[in-house]
Amino acid sequence: MRWTIDDVPVFLAVVDQKGVTAAARTLGMPKSTVSKALGRLEEALGLRLIERNSRNLRITSEGETFYRQAVLIMEQVREADAAMAGLNAVPAGRLVAALPPALCQELVAPNLASFRTRYPSVELDLIVTSHGVDLLRDQVDIAVVVGPQADSDLISRTLYSGPLIWVASPGYLAANPLGNDTDDLLAHIRICEKRYGLARLPVRVDGEPAYMDLARRITHVNDPISVRAAVLGGFGITLLPELYCRGQLRRGELTRVAEHITLDLSASVLSVVYPGRRLMSPKTRAFLDFLDEVVAKR
Amino acid sequence: MRWTIDDVPVFLAVVDQKGVTAAARTLGMPKSTVSKALGRLEEALGLRLIERNSRNLRITSEGETFYRQAVLIMEQVREADAAMAGLNAVPAGRLVAALPPALCQELVAPNLASFRTRYPSVELDLIVTSHGVDLLRDQVDIAVVVGPQADSDLISRTLYSGPLIWVASPGYLAANPLGNDTDDLLAHIRICEKRYGLARLPVRVDGEPAYMDLARRITHVNDPISVRAAVLGGFGITLLPELYCRGQLRRGELTRVAEHITLDLSASVLSVVYPGRRLMSPKTRAFLDFLDEVVAKR
DNA sequence: ATCTATCGTTCACAATTCTGAACGAACGGG
DNA sequence: CCCGTTCGTTCAGAATTGTGAACGATAGAT
């Protein structure tokens, strides 16, 4: 097959409008372009579709046969165009998102009803994972990952970057009075999130740079919710993103301590990774906005 | 709609072959062309159809939606291509031919069974007419016209150019002996075909150029068969294309006379007119060949 | 960790298509 | 019959697309 499918609507227009000039007007293109396209189609098919001179034209019987086929082709093309226009206008279709467990359990899952209400045509596939995600290999549209993300073809940006706070249960504190120096704090840390379990965790003590060793003799878990559950059960003091402690703090289930020892906001960063901003589908945009909202929610 | 339909098979190939390079091989085009076409389609649709890096690709859900539509489009395109290829391979379809009555009655009609046997898929529409034909305005594929045809965009060529002969019925001749000079011949002419009814019809008498006046006192008819019928009925001597007298001469119903007075072959010319030889449909070619055959038949 | 092979993309030039202008043809009005 | 208008086609230059070569990225083997 050697004919140009894009010449089909040109041919249809010439027949429908009964002339090259009228077809050109309808199509919004020069008549020399129409003449050329029609001639090219006839040459490629090896058949005259339209007999014509400078004043008259008539469709040949071959032209009639092709006309019937051409109408069906363009109907199909319009259907495809409408379907894609629909996808481009309203968020719809399946979206696969890989999320860390904590983010999913604490912030995303509790708000899914709201997302569904707002975007009834988006079908979410959530993958809770704590290891890295390859969008291509794992067939994922969006991924939220713990920590900053290296530059790549994929877009990544900070979804969350907020305060880390030291917390303990009131019961633990009543039974284990806390002194004021860093060593005393360190003595009470039994468990922490894996990403803070460093031999030299950079901190600020009263604004001064310092390091804390959370590597040895401390349980490390790559799930802040598990860390929180342990501390709620009296397992010492720990460092947690304020993001995951709001409710417990409000209800008095956890208490902030050692507020003079702080960490950089970037230490708690969650990154969201997705394909380039260009050609972003509406559903992807919608889910990104949704993530921004649930993270910002107080 | 601003996407290029010709990019659709490229997209389908990339998905089916799972890669730009493999698709390029299948399509027989450079991979940069494939990459460009795919990117152009995505840009025009405003949606990513395929997520990809240098080693992996996966179709997006938008891509899946478009894929389903694209498959239907290309099915339709293939159907159209097959229909047109069929038309280009085997003579088929309606053919409208305008023919002079004599040619049609005497040569074409008696042989139509043979034509149909040979080309069962060609549907003939024969228009018997004795006036000029405009292929475009009269919606005619081929026309046979009496006399030569002026040059034009249409192709015309001589279909028939043969001897004109003087004939009379034996009964008439028995009752009206014919002398040998031209004036005597002239005295016996009562009727002739309109195109020979000239005041100065160029003839050759024993090879010498001369003129005969067939304009006055002679009945003119633009149908050689009517002229023949009259002469068969004893209405004098007339001039007829040998083409239309073969059977009658063979059966002794007509007799040749004045064989020393001849006319130029071109005087009896029948021209066939049809659109340019380029892009001639098989059915047109078939009918032209058929006309050549019936005219050459003895 | 390094190297090699292969992929998809991009750039700059080659190739092709688009199109404005001009032309010949056709048709209707005077 | 002549003239003016409009049509479809064609040409030459403008514009766009195609594509070979080069590049950065990826993945598998060592």
Supply the ipTM of this predicted assembly: 0.85
Let me know the angle formed at the C-alpha of B230 by B226 and B236, rounded to the nearest 5 degrees. Answer: 135
3-state secondary structure B31-63: HHHHHHHHHHHHHHHCCCCEEECCCCEEECHHH
* Token pair in block for residue B170: 């034996």
Output the pLDDT for position A138.
85
Across the interface, do A60 and B95 touch by the CB < 8 Å criterion?
no
Tokens of A271: 């990154």
Note the pLDDT tens digit of each residue in B76-90. Answer: 999 999 999 999 899
* A1: nearest CB among B42, B81, B94: B81
Cβ–Cβ below 8 Å for B136 and A48: no
pLDDT of res. B38: 96
Three-class DSSP category at A281: coil
pLDDT of residue A151: 64
Pick the residue from chain B with its C-alpha nearest to A49.
Answer: B279
> What is the C-alpha separation between A83 and A44, in angstroms, rounded?
31
Give CA–CA dist B68/B190, Å, rounded.
78
Euclidean distance between CA atoms A40 and A48, whole angstroms: 11
- Tell me what pLDDT residue A229 has: 92
Structure tokens at B97: 């031919």
Contact criterion met (CB below 8 Å) for B110 and B297: no
Quick check: B19 and B38 in contact, CB under 8 A? no
pLDDT score recorded for residue A106: 87
Chain C positions with a protein C-beta closer than 7 Å = 6-11, 17-22, 24-27
| Residue among A6, A8, A48 whose CB faces B275 most closely | A48
pLDDT band at residue B151, thresholds of 50, 70 and 90?
A: low
| The pLDDT value given to residue B298 | 65
Residues of chain A with pLDDT under 70: 150-153, 298
The answer, yes or no, to whether residue B279 has pLDDT greater than 90, is no
Show the beta-strand stretches assigned E in B161-289: 164-168, 191-193, 201-205, 208-212, 219-221, 238-241, 255-257, 261-262, 270-274
pLDDT band per the 50, 70, 90 thresholds, residue B132: confident
Band (pLDDT 50/70/90 cuts) for residue B178 is: confident
**E-state strands within chain A:** 50-52, 57-59, 93-99, 122-128, 142-146, 155-160, 164-168, 191-193, 201-205, 208-212, 219-221, 238-241, 255-257, 261-262, 270-274
Residue type, A203: V
Q: Which string of b and e fits A68-103 if b means at least 16 CB within 10 Å?
A: ebbbbbbebbeebbeebeebbeebbbebbbbbbebb
For chain B, give the percent of residues with pLDDT over 70. 98
Q: Retrieve residue B118's tokens.
A: 């040979």
Contact A281 B8 (CB under 8 A): no
Percent of chain B at pLDDT exceeding 90? 63
Q: DSSP letter string over B270-282? A: EEEEES-STT--H
Query: CA nearest A197: which of A175, A180, A212, A181?
Result: A212
Flag whether pLDDT at B266 surpasses 90.
no
Residue A298 confidence (pLDDT): 65
- Give the DSSP H/E element, type plus range, for residue A284: helix A282-296
Secondary element (H or E) of residue A282: helix A282-296
CA distance B194 to B53: 82
Q: Which of B186, B248, B196, B187 is nearest to B222 (CA)?
A: B196
Q: Which residues of A touch B95 (CB under 8 A)?
A: 61
Neighbour tally for B33: CB within 10 Å: 13
Domains of chain A: 5-89 (1.10.10.10), 93-161+269-296 (3.40.190.10), 164-265 (3.40.190.290)
> What is residue A223's predicted lDDT score, i.e. its pLDDT?
87
The mean per-residue pLDDT over the stretch B284-298 comes to 91
| Complete DSSP assignment for A141-206 | SEEEEES-----SSEEEEEE---EEEEE-HHHHHHS---SSHHHHHHTB-EEEGGG--TTEEEEET
- Which residue of chain A has the CA closest to B281? A47
Query: Which residues of chain A make contact with B57, given a CB cutoff of 8 A?
Result: 136
The pair of three-digit structure tokens given for residue B131, joined into one six-digit string: 């006036």
pLDDT at B17: 94
pLDDT of res. A132: 76
